[in-house]
Amino acid sequence: MSGFLKSSIGKKVAMSLSAFLLMSFLILHFSINLLSVFSEDAFNSASHFMGTNWVIQFIMQPILIFGVVFHFIMGFVLEIQNRSARKIGYVNSNPSGNSTWMSRNMLLSGAVILAFLALHFADFWIPEMNTKYIQGDMSGLMNGGDTFRYYTETVHKFESPLRVGIYVVAFILLSLHLLHGFNSAFQSLGANNKYVKGLKGFSRVYAIGIPLGFIFIALFHHFSH
């Protein structure tokens, strides 16, 4: 297994699998956040379930955090290896004609998205951990004593135009990152066959639709409260 991960193909396959894990979480995260647009109670209930269910908290959450760290570290490693392996610089190889801007700047977009995740953790995850495990009474939380705060905290975070602007820019970059990364992930797993056209169509819908949905949620709460 360690030998497989040392190879370039092994790293790409492992990175692709971690990407699919993160993409599945992104859909779940978006679905729950979208509830905040339609129903405060439904959003609070779903958030409470996600925040107190032991399977999600103590199994899925650590796996997700590991997947995020692994994906970005592997991405940086692969990008550095690819740059080191190039014999001809982009200046001499007409990069704009041979590749897209995003394919040449996945490291940059990845770094920006990672910085955004740090902000997102500071905005929501760290306060959540503090509320539940440092200040909170877990027995009270498990019985629904925290359902009042999820919607209120979400709306409060989107009051700042600066924070909303950061979220919008980050999700635009995420969309571009996904447009390139989704197709690369399928190719790394060998999905280069008659189904590729359909996969590319699905990847475009996902890569544009999910980030656009998050942008809509942020703007909705910013302008409606």
- Which pTM does this prediction carry? 0.80
- 187: phi > 0 → left, psi -120 to 50 → alpha, else beta; which? alpha
Domain count, the chain: 1
Residue 109 predicted with pLDDT over 70: yes
Give the CA distances from residue 174 to residues 25, 98, 129, 152, 220, in Å, rounded to whole numbers and listed in that order.
14, 22, 26, 26, 19
Other beta carbons within 10 Å of 152: 11
How does pLDDT run across 127-136, given as a tens digit for each residue?
878 777 777 6
Share of the chain above pLDDT 70, in %: 74
Mean pLDDT of the chain: 79
Structure tokens at 144: 């629904």
For 4-63, how does the pLDDT look when each residue is reduced to its tens digit (9 = 90+)? 556 667 777 787 788 888 888 999 999 999 999 999 999 988 988 888 888 998 899 899
Domain coverage including residue 118 = 2-224
More confident residue, 90 or 194: 194
Angle at alpha carbon of residue 59, lines to 49 and 213, rounded to 5° = 55
